[in-house]
Chains A and B, each alone.
Chain A
C-alpha cells in the first residue's frame, strides 16, 4: 500500500519530468537545430569541392595545358574507348566527340563537346570527375586542361598553340552558346474528349 504522501511525490515528480520534456522539445524547435555533424573548413573539403560554375569558369583550378600535350594524354588515356582523334565509331565504346557544329537544324543532330556544350568549362568538369571511366579523378589539372585543349582543337574551336587554363577556357566561343532556354512546360494543352474525338494517330516514319 503506497501512502498518500508517496503518491503525491510521484505525481509531482511526473509533472516535473513532463514539464522538462515539453521545455526541451520547445527549446529544440526554437533553436531549430539538432547539433549533429562536424564543422568543416574549406581546407578539409579541398579534394571534395570540385564544382565548376561553367558559364563563368568559377571553380576552375590552377594549371595549364596545350594541344600537343593533350594529344599524348588522349592517346594514353582515352583513345582505347574514343578512337583515334576522338572519332569513335562502331568498333569503339563511344561515338565521335568531333564535329556536328551546324547540325542542330538537321536530323540527326550530331552531339559533341564542340557542337553541344554552351560553355567550354563543361568539358573540364566532366573529364576531371568522370574520366577515364576506369580510373576517374586520376588526371592532374594540367592533364585535364591539356586533353580539353586537344578535344576543342579537333573541333576547330581553338588554335594549335592555345594555352588552356582557368582564364582562357571560359573565353572560348562555343557555337551552341545561345541554344538553351529554361523549361517552359506545359507546352501542350490537350482536351479530355470522350466521343467523336480525333484518333490518337502517330508520328511514325512511313
Chain B
C-alpha cells in the first residue's frame, strides 16, 4: 500500500457514507491546494500554504502507517476510532474460500451496488429500444469492465451462435464474399484502447438538472481494449471498386440496425471487433462481431455485424435522418455528425456523494475526444471564473478515456466545480451556452459535450449544478 492507495481508499469510503461527525476543520484556510508533481514524493519546495503543508505532513504520516489499515484516522473518521485497539481481522482467523475447479470471477458482494442502470430520467415504456448506463462514479480507472459497459439496443439483445453467424461483403466489390467466424479469426488482427460514447449522452441535462448522478448524466460512455480485424483487410479481400464511396453496416438484430459510413473512415481505423478487454464480446455488445469506429458515435459501431455492402452514396435511412440528427436553428437538422467532440466530467466527487467534511480531496475525472488526444484538463471551483490545470494521467491515448486528477482542499463553503478538456486539435470543450448559441436545444438533443457543473453545498452534498 502506498500513500495514494491509502488516500484513495479513504476518500471513496468517506464520500459515499453519511458521516455523523464531520471533521471540524477551521474554514478559510485555503480553497485550492497546489497540485503536486507526485504525491508519493513530496517536494521540499518553499510552500507557505497552510493547507498544503498540513496535507504533506499528513501524507508522511500516511507513509508511516502504510500497511496498518489505519485509514480511518487519515480520511476524517474520528480520532478515537483511529487510536482504539485493533482486533485481529476475522479474515485472518479462518481459512479462506477454496479455489473452484472452474469459475468466472465476479466482484465481491460488497460491490453489488456497482451496476449498469437504465435511465430513470427518461423512462421508456418498453425496454427493447432502450439503454443502460455505466456507473462512472465507481469507475476508478480508464477501462470499463465488460459487465458495466453501457448498452443501447434498438430491438433487444440478439444472442447469436458463432457457428451459425455469417458476415457478407458485397455491393461494389470485385468478389462478393461470405465469412464464417472461423475464417474471420484467421485474419490478421489488431488491439486498440478506445472509448465509446452514445450520441445521446447528456441529452437529459441541456437546460435542466435532469440527472442526479454522473451515471445518469454521462454514463452512456465506456472504454475498452478492442480486438479485431481492420475493415481495410476485409474490404481488400473483396476488392472495392472505384465507385464504392460508402459502406452500409448492418446488424443481425431484430431491428436490422444499419448505418452508412464513408469509405474514408472505414479504411482509416475502423475494425470488425470480436474482442473486448481480453475476452470475446458480450452478447449486449454485439457477440460474435461488431463494427468499431474509433471516436465516432456509438450507433455507428453496428453490433452483431452481418453485412457490409459497398455503395456509392449514403442510404439516408431512418437512423441517419429521423434519428441521430441534431436540431439546428431555422427548422434545420444536422446529419452525419459522427465524431464525439472533446468532453470531460468530474466523477469524484460527483452527484449524490457527500464530502466528509472540509479538508483534502483529490478531484478525479475523465476526459476524452473523438478527434484525438487530450492535452489539457482544467478545473474550476468558482463556477468558471478561475481555472486550475489538472494533472493529466498517462498513458494519454488517441480517442480514449484519459484520467485527470487535481489535489484540492475544501474549506467547507459552497462550491460550483466543473472540468474543461482540450484536445490535440486545439479544440476547447465549450460551455453549454456556447453550444446553444449555435444549435437548437429542443427535444432529445444529441452531442452534448458542454462543460458540466457540480455544486457542493455547505453540508458537503454534491448535486447537479445546472441551475
Contacts and interface: CB of A to CB of B under 8 A. Distances in A.
A133 B175 CA distance: 34
Interface stretch (B21-29, B101-109, B132-140, B382-390): B382-390
Given A53-B313, A130-B155, A203-B432, A45 B168 contact: yes
B266 interface: no
Contacts of B250: 51
Interface string B332-348: 11111111010000000
Contacts of B332: 104, 179-181
A181 B331 CA distance: 11
Nearest to B427: A186
Interface string B255-273: 1101000000000000000
Given A37-B237, A40-B176, A200-B451, A109 B327 contact: yes
Contacts of A185: 334, 337, 339, 341
Contacts of A205: 207-208
B352 interface: no
Contact of B179 (A37, A136, A192): A37
A51 B311 contact: yes
A83 interface: no
A180 to B, nearest CB: 5
Contact of A122 (B322, B376, B380): B322
Contacts of A122: 316-318, 321-322
A111 B309 CA distance: 29
A183 B236 CA distance: 28
A184 B335 CA distance: 9
Contact of A203 (B125, B255, B433): B433
Given A105-B331, A117-B321, A37 B341 contact: no
A30 interface: no
Report which residue of B331, B335, B387 has the largest number of chain A beta carbons within 10 angstroms of its beta carbon.
B331
A184 B226 CA distance: 29
B277 interface: no
Contacts of B236: 32-33
Given A55-B316, A184-B334, A200-B431, A133 B443 contact: no
Nearest to A81: B126
Interface in B112-135: 125-126, 128-129
Contact of B209 (A104, A105, A196, A204): A204
B58 interface: no
A195 interface: yes
A153 to B, nearest CB: 19
A36 B237 CA distance: 8
Interface in A51-66: 51-55
A40 B184 CA distance: 16
B285 to A, nearest CB: 20
A185 B335 CA distance: 11
B436 interface: yes
Interface string A167-181: 000000000100111
A41 B237 CA distance: 16
A176 to B, nearest CB: 8
Contacts of B256: 50, 129-130, 136-137
A200 B384 contact: yes
Interface string A9-39: 0000000000000000000000011101111
Contacts of B289: none
B373 interface: no
Contacts of A55: 313, 316
Contact of A201 (B126, B170, B255, B433): B433
Contacts of A6: none
A186 B427 CA distance: 8
B202 interface: no
B207 A130 contact: no
Given A34-B237, A200-B418, A116 B321 contact: yes
A193 B317 CA distance: 41
Interface string A142-161: 00000000000000000000
A133 B179 contact: no
Contacts of B328: 181
Contacts of B383: 199-200
Given A109-B443, A119-B316, A133-B254, A34 B125 contact: no
Contact of A118 (B184, B316, B420): B316
Interface string B297-326: 000000000110101010111100110010
B433 A52 contact: no
A49 B170 contact: yes
Given A129-B255, A188-B434, A200-B380, A40 B170 contact: yes
A185 to B, nearest CB: 6
Contact of B333 (A180, A200, A203): A180
Given A49-B309, A188-B430, 13 more contacts: A34-B187, A50-B256, A51-B258, A53-B313, A54-B317, A107-B442, A108-B443, A109-B331, A111-B322, A181-B333, A183-B337, A187-B438, A203-B432
17 contacts: A39-B175, A42-B176, A48-B306, A51-B311, A51-B315, A94-B125, A107-B443, A113-B322, A125-B317, A179-B332, A181-B335, A183-B334, A185-B337, A197-B385, A200-B431, A201-B433, A202-B453
